[in-house]
Chains A and B, each alone.
Chain A
């Protein structure tokens, strides 16, 4: 149609629309005399106009507001009465923003909790009660909590805004004087004394959680918050402990350097864990190095449980005069067994005061140690065994029974391997079915005999990988062979990260095959990035900035954490690893809703295969896109666990995790 013609049509259309509907037909007859096309155009347009109703009457934002909110930028956003001004930083508990309280026009620090928080009601309730308890604490050295609230599904904590630096920042910038160090520890200890008296343990005392205002006043941040980060499920070694007090090693995304031995072991903690952590901070300030550290988190945890820190006389020479006094205080904070530490912070405060007095009067120092000197008894043997047990058992989350079944099915592969390429079609199907059982068992899933369609679906994916085994068009990097070769160096990191979150390690090994082909910086058109194809917004929630998304060291623990959260959200359904995988792809809520839809089917089992068998009851997204996700994963695992059968170099990927 030409513009001129349209103008003619429009004139007729407008005139017709100006008339009452009943007169339009006769008007058109007259106006379009001899021009049938004009009449047809006008008639269909009028009909369209009358039928259109609400069409485009509601602005797009009415439907698509969530698209805009899906991004990760909160600046200028309003949350309840708070308008966000700028981002201050991020921690394990979400992001912190500088915001203005529009009611009182005061500045506040606004912490936004990760979205996954809101999906877990138990955790949410715990969060609210903990944060409210903490907000009742009134002490000059404790950051004041103004409000704990929710607005449009976003949970937040508004606290006073401190314009200052954390002790961590100060330590990196300058060497602190002995006077400053003791003052700092005293301020923190006096705040802890108040909190402990109120029954609140901080659990995450570390330099980054202590701020110094410009006038020298210290503020402890995040009281009572650390506990909320810890998963609620009982640990492996403490299943007999009281359910309400037991917590696993939380804060796994944060540093472990300040963790007490009981935290590292996943035991219940009390106020003495704060005394330990404060001892670590004191040591670090004096020595300018950490008392316990290692190349990996696990190494650090072993050091915490097992090693004695270098004596201050070796590492804090500039404070030599005061070393004997300080060493006794540090020793009594850093006793491996809580019972050997100061019983209360008040005891520590007394020793600190006494030390300060003696330091002010050097002649008195030679009089000997401050008070009773305590020599901690190393509990090395027991503790080391415990660590090994944790590391060992954490590889698989499942019960012993299931792991035993895994071991027995694993034996199936002991027979000589016939290359997949040389198998008949029938043999291939049998091989895929048998290997699926084995992989499922390794994942802790109760193996199910799959129907033929399911086996065919997995085999289809296996064949696709086989077809891409060698460079298709000379592009070596996209071949299956290259993918598995790239995977190998990442396995130890994956094993550590996933074991720490009690997520089956095998999930961590094969997700990157199907998500990114183990290209650490792979970026999909959907905005997914890195080994595990996180979106930047999700990565940020898990403490990884956009710039860090190619960094496997950052992304791998975040992926494990993300899956662990999904598992927590799935609750009992997380027993089925196929559902866990599906929740990675579609979200836990979708998985739960879908299970609900197919409940009541014959031989109902809460797993992916039930969903697949009843896929007609599910949404189009599942039928078109998602149904292949788990079979694809299993295909990737079948290949990676049977390198010989597929002519790949090196051992089965999972063996590199051990």
Chain B
């Protein structure tokens, strides 16, 4: 992974805001590192039996990156990128994981720590991803709300901040999206 200078990063962030997916790709290493750190602390706290506040961890990550002279557009911007990268990583992983099931004769990962993801979980994530894509076609904002909350670990308040909508709207979007997605996945299972 190549490293990014602060200048490059800012430019990339601006580009990404303007919809350049390639720019997002370039941001991945940096955000990935942060996500790993978030995941690590998440696991630490989970083991220690603490209440889990992912959004607090994402905030910490933001503060650390902001402190490194990396000019994020703003906090909301960072949250949005983080959620997108997280989604990307997990779905990518799930796809690769699922592939093994159809890979035929014993082509399982030879090393046990390879995956960390069960086949069931991989299938669940892929189904969710497909449903979320379809939801975006119907109602893009709701799919963003789900992405920020589910993949980005953001609170309702932070989600409202990122999307520049009221807290009430986020609440309503969330419950409708949840109902829609749940019904859809349930129907697939049957």
* CB-CB nearest in chain A for B41: A78
Residues in B143-179 with C-beta less than 8 Å from chain A: 146, 149-153, 172, 175-176, 178-179
Known: A1-B138, A59-B150, A73-B33. A68 touches B89 (CB 8 A): yes
Considering the chains assembled together, what is the distance between the CA atoms of A627 and B33 in angstroms? Answer: 37
* CB-CB nearest in chain B for A3: B138
Query: Which of the segments A466-474, A476-484, A499-507, A580-588 contacts the partner chain?
Result: A580-588
Considering the chains assembled together, what is the distance between the CA atoms of A177 and B42 in angstroms? Answer: 53
Considering the chains assembled together, what is the distance between the CA atoms of A532 and B110 in angstroms? Answer: 9
The reply to whether B90 and A67 form a contact with Cβ atoms under 8 Å apart is yes
Considering the chains assembled together, what is the distance between the CA atoms of A535 and B54 in angstroms? Answer: 29
Chain A 299-342 near chain B by CB (<8 Å), digits 1 or 0: 00000000000000000000000000000000000000000000
* CB-CB nearest in chain B for A70: B116
A577 at the binding interface (Cβ < 8 Å):
no
Contact of A525 among B96, B175, B179 (CB under 8 A): B96
Chain A 39-58 near chain B by CB (<8 Å), digits 1 or 0: 00000111111011001100
The reply to whether A586 and B112 form a contact with Cβ atoms under 8 Å apart is yes
Contact of A51 among B38, B64, B119, B182 (CB under 8 A): B182
Query: Which of the segments B6-14, B15-23, B73-81, B99-107 contacts the partner chain?
Result: B99-107
The reply to whether B90 and A64 form a contact with Cβ atoms under 8 Å apart is yes
Considering the chains assembled together, what is the distance between the CA atoms of A10 and B39 in angstroms? Answer: 35
B111 at the binding interface (Cβ < 8 Å):
yes
Query: How close is A24's CB to chain B, nearest CB, in angstroms?
Result: 13
Contacts of B149 in A (CB 8 A): 56, 59
Contact of B100 among A7, A17, A526 (CB under 8 A): A526
The reply to whether A6 and B111 form a contact with Cβ atoms under 8 Å apart is no
The reply to whether B37 and A77 form a contact with Cβ atoms under 8 Å apart is yes
A231 at the binding interface (Cβ < 8 Å):
no
Considering the chains assembled together, what is the distance between the CA atoms of A1 and B138 in angstroms? Answer: 8
Chain B 36-53 near chain A by CB (<8 Å), digits 1 or 0: 111111111011000010
The reply to whether B176 and A14 form a contact with Cβ atoms under 8 Å apart is yes
The reply to whether B113 and A70 form a contact with Cβ atoms under 8 Å apart is yes
Considering the chains assembled together, what is the distance between the CA atoms of A442 and B137 in angstroms? Answer: 61
The reply to whether A625 and B44 form a contact with Cβ atoms under 8 Å apart is no
A364 at the binding interface (Cβ < 8 Å):
no
Majority DSSP secondary structure for residues of B touching A = helix
Query: How close is B122's CB to chain A, nearest CB, in angstroms?
Result: 10
The range of chain B's interface size is 35 or more
Query: How close is A395's CB to chain B, nearest CB, in angstroms?
Result: 24
* CB-CB nearest in chain A for B65: A76
Known: A64-B117, A535-B114. A3 touches B139 (CB 8 A): yes
The reply to whether B182 and A69 form a contact with Cβ atoms under 8 Å apart is no
The reply to whether A589 and B112 form a contact with Cβ atoms under 8 Å apart is yes
Contact of B38 among A56, A61, A621 (CB under 8 A): A61
Residue of A10, A60, A71, A621 with highest tally of chain B CB at under 10 A: A60
* CB-CB nearest in chain A for B135: A6
The reply to whether B37 and A78 form a contact with Cβ atoms under 8 Å apart is yes
Known: A14-B176, A48-B183, A55-B178. A66 touches B40 (CB 8 A): no
Query: How close is A556's CB to chain B, nearest CB, in angstroms?
Result: 15
Chain A 619-658 near chain B by CB (<8 Å), digits 1 or 0: 0110011111100100000000000000000000000000
A62 at the binding interface (Cβ < 8 Å):
yes
Contact of A625 among B35, B108, B146 (CB under 8 A): B108
B181 at the binding interface (Cβ < 8 Å):
yes
Known: A49-B175, A59-B152, A63-B121. A70 touches B43 (CB 8 A): no
The reply to whether B36 and A77 form a contact with Cβ atoms under 8 Å apart is yes
The reply to whether A528 and B109 form a contact with Cβ atoms under 8 Å apart is yes
* CB-CB nearest in chain A for B140: A3
Known: A59-B152, A151-B44. A69 touches B39 (CB 8 A): yes
Contact of B36 among A48, A68, A115 (CB under 8 A): A68
Considering the chains assembled together, what is the distance between the CA atoms of A534 and B111 in angstroms? Answer: 7
B93 at the binding interface (Cβ < 8 Å):
yes
Chain B 87-98 near chain A by CB (<8 Å), digits 1 or 0: 101100100100
The reply to whether A70 and B115 form a contact with Cβ atoms under 8 Å apart is yes
* CB-CB nearest in chain A for B91: A60
The reply to whether B39 and A65 form a contact with Cβ atoms under 8 Å apart is yes
Contacts of A63 in B (CB 8 A): 121
Residue of B54, B109, B150 with highest tally of chain A CB at under 10 A: B109
Considering the chains assembled together, what is the distance between the CA atoms of A63 and B83 in angstroms? Answer: 15
Known: A526-B114, A625-B108, A629-B106. A61 touches B42 (CB 8 A): yes
The reply to whether B42 and A587 form a contact with Cβ atoms under 8 Å apart is no
Contacts of A620 in B (CB 8 A): 119
A255 at the binding interface (Cβ < 8 Å):
no
Contacts of A78 in B (CB 8 A): 37, 40-41, 44
Considering the chains assembled together, what is the distance between the CA atoms of A461 and B105 in angstroms? Answer: 9
Considering the chains assembled together, what is the distance between the CA atoms of A63 and B89 in angstroms? Answer: 14
The reply to whether B101 and A624 form a contact with Cβ atoms under 8 Å apart is yes
A538 at the binding interface (Cβ < 8 Å):
yes
A13 at the binding interface (Cβ < 8 Å):
yes
B2 at the binding interface (Cβ < 8 Å):
no
Query: How close is A535's CB to chain B, nearest CB, in angstroms?
Result: 5
* CB-CB nearest in chain A for B114: A535
The reply to whether B109 and A67 form a contact with Cβ atoms under 8 Å apart is no
The reply to whether B116 and A66 form a contact with Cβ atoms under 8 Å apart is yes
Contact of A67 among B101, B117, B181, B182 (CB under 8 A): B117
Considering the chains assembled together, what is the distance between the CA atoms of A65 and B139 in angstroms? Answer: 29
* CB-CB nearest in chain A for B124: A63
The reply to whether A625 and B107 form a contact with Cβ atoms under 8 Å apart is yes
Residues in A449-467 with C-beta less than 8 Å from chain B: 461, 464
Contacts of B180 in A (CB 8 A): 45, 48
The reply to whether B93 and A67 form a contact with Cβ atoms under 8 Å apart is yes
Contacts of B103 in A (CB 8 A): 525, 625
The reply to whether A48 and B182 form a contact with Cβ atoms under 8 Å apart is yes
The reply to whether B109 and A68 form a contact with Cβ atoms under 8 Å apart is no
The reply to whether A152 and B40 form a contact with Cβ atoms under 8 Å apart is yes
B27 at the binding interface (Cβ < 8 Å):
no
The reply to whether B146 and A56 form a contact with Cβ atoms under 8 Å apart is yes
* CB-CB nearest in chain B for A17: B175
Query: How close is B125's CB to chain A, nearest CB, in angstroms?
Result: 8
The reply to whether B37 and A115 form a contact with Cβ atoms under 8 Å apart is no
A440 at the binding interface (Cβ < 8 Å):
no
Residue of B37, B87, B139 with highest tally of chain A CB at under 10 A: B37
Contacts of B35 in A (CB 8 A): 68
Considering the chains assembled together, what is the distance between the CA atoms of A625 and B180 in angstroms? Answer: 35
Q: List 17 A-B contacts (CB under 8 A).
A: A7-B139, A14-B172, A45-B176, A45-B179, A55-B178, A59-B150, A59-B153, A61-B86, A63-B121, A66-B117, A67-B90, A69-B116, A152-B43, A525-B103, A527-B114, A585-B106, A628-B106
Please give 4 more A-B residue pairs, beta carbons under 8 A apart, in addition to A1-B138, A49-B182, A67-B39: A7-B139, A60-B125, A68-B35, A152-B43
Task: Mark A residues whose CB is within 8 Å of B.
Answer: 1, 3, 6-7, 10, 13-14, 17, 44-49, 51-52, 55-56, 59-71, 73, 75-78, 115, 151-152, 461, 464, 514-515, 524-528, 532-535, 537-538, 584-587, 589-590, 620-621, 624-629, 632
The 10 A-B pairs at the shortest CB distance, nearest first, are namely A587-B112, A59-B153, A48-B183, A49-B179, A629-B106, A68-B39, A66-B116, A65-B39, A628-B106, A52-B182
